[in-house]
Structure 1
Amino acid sequence: MSASPRLSTLILPVRRWHEGGREQWQRAEELGFHAAYTYDHLAWRSFRDQAWFGALPTLTAAATATSRLRLGTMVTSPNFRHPVTLAKELITLDDISGGRITLGIGAGSNGFDATTLAQEPWSPRERTARFGEFVPLLDRLLTEDAVSHQGTYYSAEEARNIPGCVQRPRIPFAIAATGPRGLRLAARHGQAWVTTGDPKVSATGTPEDSLAAVQSQLEKLEKECVEVGRDIAELDKVFLTGFTPDGGRPLESLDAFVDFAGRHIALGFHEIVIHAPIPDSVFAADQKVFERIATEAPAQLG
């Protein structure tokens, strides 16, 4: 866990690599961000009918275009992934990046990914159950040379994962969760916990309501840590911005962002993630303000 707060960015995979994509990841490193993440979806919300590239190939390319920046998904889910194939790809990506990969992972939702493979959307109960089986199996696949497992939803037969991850014992998991079973997975298997706030509060509440809801999530996470015999201080707490009642207002100015981030850091968050601007979208923002936040906010927050 870092002693001072970190600032990271999230780059949506919407640009062709040779038409600004490569430069965007390199610029994130130049600006001094701790990490740059990307969404792991087949399609997402208003971008469904626009260019959208695969997360893991994009991160592989980013790994070869950068040298210091941490990279990761925010977040992967079981919607169209299987632990066996995902583990092989993550081990490869960790090797190519020289050990700079973090896996953000969550249970997923009933978005486009839930039906693209011509399947019926999973119920919330099944989604939670799948996530509860997916994470422990992936943990084993990334730490053991050979894994066999017969589960309700996922199975493996002598799945080989030699030589394993560059990072030992495996790449870190940043687990996105708000419910009790997901929070327990974060407490048991996570090196970090991720939240975007409370969607119900974001839809109808105030910024103060959102802070209170996030504080409640932290308290529930601590309870689950106690249940599994772990100190909550061992987990990094990551806040992905852009989904609270504040919307994009924290990116309107340096002062607005420092105020927003400071309130969350005071709750105990170690890492604040901001979306790289995308014109004419929910993530539209002034690039100059974004870059000023990247270069000046960390000193003010530290």
Structure 2
Amino acid sequence: MTIDLPNKVTIIEVGPRDGLQNVSVFISTEAKLQFIDQLKKSGIKEMEITSFVSPKWVPQMQDAEDIVWHSLDLNTRTIVLTPNRSGIQRARLSNCQEIALFVGVSNTFNQKNINRTTAQATEELLPLIKELKEQGVFVRACISTAFYCPFEGRVEEKETIQLCKQFVHAGVDELSVADTIGMAAPHESYSLFSKLTTLFSTTLITAHFHDTRGMALANIFAALQAGVSRFDTSAGGIGGCPFAPGASGNVATEDVVFMLERMGIQTGIQLPLLVQAIDVIAPHLPKPISSSFYTLYSKA
């Protein structure tokens, strides 16, 4: 059987932002910058580097301005997450040219996180997207709970597609569609991403899988078959969903790169240098790195 797969895949590294935002102990700005720098050296060309959020609620991201000041360069798409107009203003004052916004498909998920329904959150974000596009900013829309919600259970595929459609019509450059709690199975991944890549062929479609139940690599393979060639991953598998205590969370960049390269799919990332990036951040984390490739590589 012949499987039509891409020859090349783009990895969007989310470790410095999604990976570190929930770490209980504050990681120094210097350590974060060393981590980001080594990730770039490994071949990463797109990366979420920080969030412009309230330090009160996310103290780990209190050094966002410093991170941006030292990390922006012409060779890397350095993305920052912003929850609202205030965050966008801070990001723009820091000269950020790539901005991510986020909303969940699930009403309960949004109400628990941002005290808004999905409709209210979307209504607030759509005008901001228009303003950003008028300023020439690259806009990434992060769609959470695209498959399952920790409060409502299964999310209907048509609801995810309808929300994505609103953001595409608003002019976003990219949709990052997330299996937030790692519940999706490969057939669900294939089904949703087949529809998204067909409906929104001129928009960058990125798959964001969590490995909470060990299905991330299988879901990535299914998404590849559905026409996806962009994936969010986190070096060392750090970070993850706060609604699944003890879960492994984000799929590990090194595991994904190893799988893709073994399949003959180019990523442009050098695994030995990626391991060095993980070595930089690992001593600062409260838990040891447990990704398959990193564990085996460390023992070799």
Contact (CA 8 Å) 2:49, 2:68: kept in 1 or not?
A: no
Say which SS state the counterpart of residue 186 (structure 2) adopts: helix
Aligned to 1:7: 11
The answer (yes or no) to whether the contact 1:174–1:193 under 8 Å persists in 2 is yes
- From the superposition, tell whether residues 76 and 139 of structure 1 become closer, same or farther in structure 2 (CA, over 3 Å): same
Deviation at 1:69, TM superposition (A): 2.6
2:176 is the counterpart of 1:194: yes
Q: Which residue of 1 aligns with 2:187?
A: 212
| Closer, same or farther: CA 69–175 of 1 in aligned 2, 3 Å | same
Kept in 1: contact 2:47–2:76 (CA 8 A): yes
2 CA distance for matches of 1:16 and 1:198? 24
Post-superposition CA distance 1:208-232 (Å, at most 9, x none): x622222332355468x4xxxxxx2
User: How much has 1:26 moved relative to structure 2?
Assistant: 1.0
Q: Is the 8 A contact 1:5 1:271 kept in 2?
A: yes
Q: Is residue 225 of structure 2 the alignment partner of residue 266 of structure 1?
A: yes
Structure 1 residue 90, shift from structure 2 partner: 3.2
Query: What is the CA–CA distance in structure 1 between the aligned matches of 2:176 and 2:249, rounded to whole Å?
Result: 23
Q: Name 1:229's counterpart in structure 2.
A: none
Quote the Cα distance in structure 1 between the aligned partners of 2:50 and 2:104.
14
Question: Is 1:71 aligned with 2:82?
Answer: no
The equivalent residue for 1:184 is 165
Number of residue equivalences = 226
Offset at residue 33 of structure 1 (A): 1.4
2:42 corresponds in structure 1 to 31
Give the Å deviation of 1:138: 0.2
Contact 2:211 2:250 in 1 (8 A): no
Matched position secondary structure for 2:176:
strand
**Structure 1 segment 35-114 matched on structure 2, within 5 A:** 35-37=46-48, 40=51, 52-54=59-61, 57-58=63-64, 61-65=67-71, 67=73, 68-73=75-80, 76-77=82-83, 81=84, 83=85, 85-93=86-94, 95=95, 99=97, 101-107=98-104, 109-110=109-110, 113-114=113-114
Q: How much does 1:53 deviate?
A: 1.8
Cα displacement (A) at 1:29: 0.7
CA distance in 1, matches of 2:246, 2:31: 17
Cα deviation 1:257-289 (Å, max 9, x = unaligned): xx7644322212121121233499644899xx8
Paired residues of 1:198 and 1:213 also in contact (CA < 8 A): no
1:186-229 CA-to-partner distances (Å, cap 9, x unmatched) read: 32132111222375xx44xxxxx622222332355468x4xxxx
Using CA pairs below 8 Å that are at least 6 residues apart, which structure has the higher relative contact order?
2
SS in 2 for 1:23: helix
Tell me, in whole angstroms, the C-alpha distance in 1 between the residues paired with 2:228 and 2:176: 10
Contact 2:133–2:139 (8 Å) recurs in 1: no
Alpha carbons of structure 1 residues 198 and 222: separation in structure 2 relative to 1, 3 Å: same
- Higher-Rg structure is 1
TM-score where L is the length of structure 1: 0.58
Task: Name the CA distance, whole Å, in 2 between partners of 1:285 and 1:90.
Answer: 25
User: What value does the CA root-mean-square deviation take over the aligned residues?
Assistant: 4.0
Gapped regions of structure 2 (runs ≥ 5): 1-5, 147-158, 240-244, 267-300
Report the AA paired with residue 64 of structure 2.
T
TM-score (normalised: structure 2): 0.59
Unaligned runs of 5+ in 1: 115-120, 145-163, 204-208, 226-231, 251-258
